[in-house]
Chains A and B, each alone.
Chain A
Amino acid sequence: MSAEGMSSNVSPDVQGLVGGQRLFVRNATGLVRSANALDMAVFNICGNMVIPFATGLFWAYAVFPRANMPIAILAGGVLCAFTWFCWAFLATTMPKTGGGYIFNSRILHPLVGFSADWLNWIGTVIAFGLWTTWLSTVALSAVFSTWGALEHSATVAGWAGTVLHQNWTFALGIPLILAVFACAVYSLKLSLRLQNLTFFISTAGLLLACVILIFTSQSTYIANFNHFAFPYTHLQDSYHAIIAQARHNGFTPPSIAGYSASDTFNAIYMVLTVSIWAWSSAYLAGEMRHAARLRRETGVMAGSGAVQILIILVATALFLKTAGSDFFSSINYLNTIGKNPLPAPPYYTLLAGVAFSNPVIVGLIVFSFVFGIWCGFWELIGAASRPLFAYSFDGILPRRVADVNNRTHTPVGALAVLIVGAVAVHAWASYSTFPAGFFRVWTYTGLFAFVMMAVTAISAIVLPWRRPQIYARSPARRSLFGVPLVSIFGFLSLITCGIYFWIIDKYETKLVTGASLRQLWGATAICVLSGVVIYFIAKVVRARQGARLEAAFAEIPPD
């Protein structure tokens, strides 16, 4: 193995005593040091920083208005941490392989591993619909409405409503899909460059909004909001009128109802769906196993997750301080019942944008948000293409799915499958009734992923007993009062998943999913079943080709 720009100057911890331990290492290929921890941390959160915060947490405030959101965010962060540690222990035990599919296939059973991961893969493809419709429903509508208000242009402001029409939402998403996929097919490096660029622009926009919110008083915010909203509401004091309208429609704002423990607990649902993904770097690993790796994995996952939680916490607190929790929850409540008087959903882009009367700053905030759409959508494409390789490599999907184009070095087959899925899901999300359709997509995506995480948690629990040899060699072989820590974190992660399922189960109506519990779990069962069917079809096809599918997973008896 060689690399660009390398010298033969081998570093001491690669060639000699590793990490001060009494471990002799000879000069041999492949002995490298892991990726920079900061890079891995960025990878963990780059798709989930701006956009999910911008929508999910605002919505949570409307659904559970009596929630003490900062406490919900902190409690959700602790629950997420159980899953981050669980995945860190598994990734340390099985370095290089990584990922739920491999963990579950190896520890439990190939059929279980594939079915659970297939479900998660479907959820990932469904999530395409969130990003492709957000371009219109969250990004462009906010851009046009704030721009129109600031420029006193009814034409531009009218575009905000236009892009919310289903045909426009669908039509505008198609160029986004084609552009992101075209870059993905053309060059991975170009796609990664654009990912970095768009991530930093969108994050800078969020941070800029936070900095300005610090220096914006509530009275200034109210005045600016009323100025913005007048063309749509024709009221001088739209701010208070919106709170009153929400009350008229049966909503009790937090200042009257007070905080509720159950709403605070239930708001954790949204924190889980936004912040649990900090285990993504489980897919990046090195060859050497040592304790430093466990510290590094847990540090990277917990560290990046904690930073994300902190940023969300600070941003939420700033919005509450400036916009006021009554207004904040009232406008979101009206949106969820379809009575939003504004031309765009009241998410971060709109509410942050209207806080400032300076068009340049507003432009920076709202346009930077559009870049976040690109970044997050590309991240999802990456997340959805990796499993296709693994399934194809194991013979479950046809080999052509994992073919890499010799000229562009990109997985054209996998991307072709995904673009068909992206267009189909985009059509479904675009033509579903908003907001129920949107949140139905959100719920399916989260539910499918949490089922896979629950299966992975079970793998972690049983690892020391199901695969004692693998566990015995693991640097993650740590215990507390004689109980393996990997099992403890697996158990706690399972509780986290259980809380997620319980909230969905109990608040089916409140979560405005537009789908009944029977539909949700029915869809889950159908998707799992489709995985089982695919597995058995592959088994028959491979048998006809003279190969046993099970051979791909079965361990050869060594003796």
Chain B
Amino acid sequence: MPFLKSSPNASRIFFATDIHGSDLCWRKFLNAAAYYGAQTLIMGGDMMGKMLVPVTREGAAWRADYSGRTHRLETRAELATFTQQLADVGVYTYECEEDELQQFADPASREELIRRVALERVSGWMALADERLAGKDVECFAQPGNDDLEGIDELIESSQTVRNSDGTCAKLRSGHELIATGYSNITPWRTARELAEEELGDVIDGLFKQLEQPSTAIASLHVPPFGSNLDNAPRLDDQFQVQTRGGQADMVPVGSTAVRDAIAKHQPLLALHGHIHESPGRILLGKTTCVNPGSEYQEGVLQGALIRLGRDRVENVQFVRG
């Protein structure tokens, strides 16, 4: 019975994506190799968070507004606990005086503040990776996603143990080749790394040209293929409000046609995707197994895919909620 068999020589990959600043998810990601017995860790992009809570001085205490409540933190220990709780779900904190908040009246200054704090967190993550993965028999790859701002590439590349897979062709110890791009097609939010479909297609084609054997390669393409059911997101109006049909969120495909065409044309062994948190799943596009593990970073839950990979076939994909 083939569905009951697994090859003893298969390699095991753990893939997660879209952790959006969640400190807890990153710490779990680094431990995933040991926990699941994986030889390779791949982070599929969108590592930076989206929200920041200012923490201001109020006399001897601190004040922060979060979850619709004003938190008054009396001691440094309380502040540290609060900060870590928010960090675990991807929210940044910024300690400042009350009158300093005036500096962030315009969106550009808030964006820059979040970028700066987010990069500090990524820098800390790389240091933690070096501490935990050094000397271990684990290879770790990470790539930025469309939501990751300028400066993150350099931080990943500064790590001794994490390799930036974006725009490159890397060879895994198992012999499989890995190509990656964090660019997405155009979104309504006009984020940091977006390209028109045609340009995105050129970027991906360029990556495939670097491969020696596309049929056994892994393509980590942040945005999923259009119309694949890995790319269903709620339809929104111009106020970004979820639209419904029949009382349920009206889900529409928002993936990339360029990614779909590239997979159809080059047929890699495995395609790894993220970007659309609410469409986890696994599908076959021709001979290519496409996987989107989804994301629940805001609960501190690391959704991932544990993939057993034979030389030229995907033996098993198991979705996990770490």
| Chain A contact residues, CB within 8 Å of chain B | 1-11, 14-16, 18-19, 21-36, 39-40, 42-44, 46, 94-97, 189, 191-193, 195-196, 284, 286-292, 294, 382, 393-395, 399, 402, 404, 406, 409, 469-470, 472-475, 477, 541-542, 544-547, 551-559
Residue of A14, A43, A96, A470 touching B240 (CB-CB under 8 A): A14
User: Least Cβ distance of A400 to chain B in Å?
Assistant: 10
B316–A547 touching, CB < 8 Å: yes
- Say yes or no: is B283 at the interface (Cβ < 8 Å to chain A): yes
A393–B280 touching, CB < 8 Å: yes
B315–A287 touching, CB < 8 Å: no
A8–B189 touching, CB < 8 Å: yes
B299–A2 touching, CB < 8 Å: no
Q: List 11 A-B contacts (CB under 8 A).
A: A2-B185, A24-B52, A25-B50, A28-B147, A32-B236, A33-B241, A35-B249, A286-B242, A289-B298, A393-B281, A544-B6
A192–B245 touching, CB < 8 Å: yes
B241–A559 touching, CB < 8 Å: no
B187–A1 touching, CB < 8 Å: yes
C-alpha spacing A31/B51, complex, angstroms: 10
C-alpha spacing A395/B243, complex, angstroms: 31
C-alpha spacing A104/B242, complex, angstroms: 27
- Across the interface, which residues of B come within 8 angstroms of A189, CB to CB? 245
- Across the interface, which residues of B come within 8 angstroms of A477, CB to CB? 67
- Across the interface, which residues of A come within 8 angstroms of B159, CB to CB? none
Q: How many residues on chain B are close to A (CB under 8 Å)?
A: 91
Residue of B nearest to A22 (CB): B65
- Across the interface, which residues of A come within 8 angstroms of B176, CB to CB? none
B3–A541 touching, CB < 8 Å: yes
C-alpha spacing A194/B275, complex, angstroms: 32
C-alpha spacing A18/B67, complex, angstroms: 10
- Across the interface, which residues of B come within 8 angstroms of A44, CB to CB? 247
- Across the interface, which residues of B come within 8 angstroms of A26, CB to CB? 50-52, 110-111, 114-115
C-alpha spacing A40/B234, complex, angstroms: 14
C-alpha spacing A409/B320, complex, angstroms: 24
Q: Check A43/B235 contact, CB under 8 A, given A35-B242, A404-B283.
A: no
C-alpha spacing A286/B236, complex, angstroms: 12
Residue of A394, A402, A473 touching B85 (CB-CB under 8 A): A473
A96–B244 touching, CB < 8 Å: no
B67–A43 touching, CB < 8 Å: no
C-alpha spacing A6/B298, complex, angstroms: 25
Identify which of residues 219-256 in chain B touch chain A, using a CB-to-CB cut-off of 8 Å. 227-229, 233-249, 252, 254
Identify which of residues 176-202 in chain B touch chain A, using a CB-to-CB cut-off of 8 Å. 184-191
Residue of A nearest to B230 (CB): A404
User: Least Cβ distance of A476 to chain B in Å?
Assistant: 9
User: Least Cβ distance of A439 to chain B in Å?
Assistant: 29
- Across the interface, which residues of B come within 8 angstroms of A547, CB to CB? 306, 308, 316, 318
A551–B320 touching, CB < 8 Å: yes
User: Least Cβ distance of A394 to chain B in Å?
Assistant: 7
Residue of B nearest to A476 (CB): B67
A35–B89 touching, CB < 8 Å: no
A27–B189 touching, CB < 8 Å: yes
Q: A1-B188, A23-B52, A556-B35 are in contact. List 19 more A-B contacts (CB 8 A).
A: A4-B235, A21-B65, A24-B53, A24-B113, A28-B191, A29-B146, A36-B243, A96-B296, A287-B298, A291-B68, A393-B281, A406-B283, A469-B300, A474-B67, A475-B69, A546-B12, A556-B302, A557-B35, A558-B28
- Across the interface, which residues of B come within 8 angstroms of A6, CB to CB? 188, 236-238
C-alpha spacing A292/B66, complex, angstroms: 11
- Across the interface, which residues of A come within 8 angstroms of B111, CB to CB? 26-27
Q: Check A28/B89 contact, CB under 8 A, given A3-B234, A23-B53, A546-B316.
A: no
- Across the interface, which residues of A come within 8 angstroms of B3, CB to CB? 541, 545
Residue of A23, A31, A555 touching B189 (CB-CB under 8 A): A31
